Amino acid sequence: MLTGAMPEGDSLRRVAARLQPLVGERVEVETPHPRAAAKGIAQAVDGRVLEAVEAVGKNLLLRFEGGVVVRSHLRMTGRWRLERRGSRRVGTPWLVLRGERHEGVLWNGPVLELGEERVGRLGPDILAAPPDLDAMVQNLRRVGQAREIGDALLDQRLVAGIGNIWKAEALWAARVSPWAALGAVPDVVVREVLAAASRLMRASVEGERQRRNVYRRHVCPRCGTRIASRGQGDDNRTTWWCPRCQEGDTLLAA
Ligand SMILES: [Zn+2]
């Protein structure tokens, strides 16, 4: 479903759920891939009890006894699998966590590191129950208000966990253009966008199949207008929006 797409907060939640059978076990840890081996992670956590696996924003945190944390950010290519202990495999995984009956195996993990210093700088998690919408709005007000809302919503330091798909869908749901300047969108509407993102992503985590209304769609299901798409922000990630029913910088005048 997410082939070629950045894993979003909801898919990381599913990864965390998949690895739960290893939680509570004392694990053998190997880092077969040379780039992973160079980080000293196996030495730091081998033989420790895996106490928790959590998705925080776009990071997967593996918490080991003694307060040691391994952070895995999957970017475009990383994949975690849970396999039976001793499964044969072709290729060189980054990390293997071997429990009594299962092995958690990380393939192509581009970001893998000890400690959680960087996680401390993430904004509030959109998937928290309940999400701290006030803190998110405050964060979004602390940055330059000429910034486009579609770009700001992907800034993990302001709000953690919203990816490109749910950004587009949440803005559509709240009828706000991704090109609207933050300063042109009142607090109450910013909250609506965040609440929509949280609601849609929560449903996705719970396995509900979500209909896409705007992301990679051709026609707006609300007004029948042709959906537009264009690259946005420093990463030039494509954003989709309905030019008719999502309001842009004229929002205050409306
Ligand atoms: Zn429309």
pLDDT tens string 187-234: 999 999 999 999 998 887 777 777 899 998 999 999 999 999 998 887
| pLDDT at 161 (0 to 100) | 82
Would you tell me how many other CB atoms lie within 10 Å of the CB of residue 76?
12
DSSP conformation class of 2 = -
- CB contact set of 201 (below 8 Å; sequence gap of 6+): 8, 9, 10, 126, 127, 161, 162, 166
More confident residue, 52 or 110: 52
Q: Find the range with the poorest average confidence among 75-79, 158-162, 215-219.
A: 75-79
* Residue 225 CA, ligand 1 centroid: distance in Å: 5
CB 222 within 8 A of CB 212: no
* Residue 49 CA, ligand 1 centroid: distance in Å: 52
* Residue 172 CA, ligand 1 centroid: distance in Å: 8
Identify the band that residue 116 occupies on the pLDDT scale cut at 50, 70 and 90: low
* Residue 227 CA, ligand 1 centroid: distance in Å: 8
Instruction: Concatenate the DSSP letters of all residues of 133-188 into one string.
Output: HHHHHHHHHHS-TTSBHHHHTT-TTTSBS--HHHHHHHHHHTTB-TTSBGGGS-HH
* pLDDT tops 80 at residue 142: yes
pTM (whole model) above 0.75: no
User: Residue 97 in 3-state DSSP?
Assistant: strand
pLDDT, tens digit, for every residue of 12-31?
888 899 999 999 898 988 88
| pLDDT at 251 (0 to 100) | 39
Q: Residue 162's Cα: distance from chain center in Å?
A: 6
Residues with catalytic roles:
7-8, 58, 237
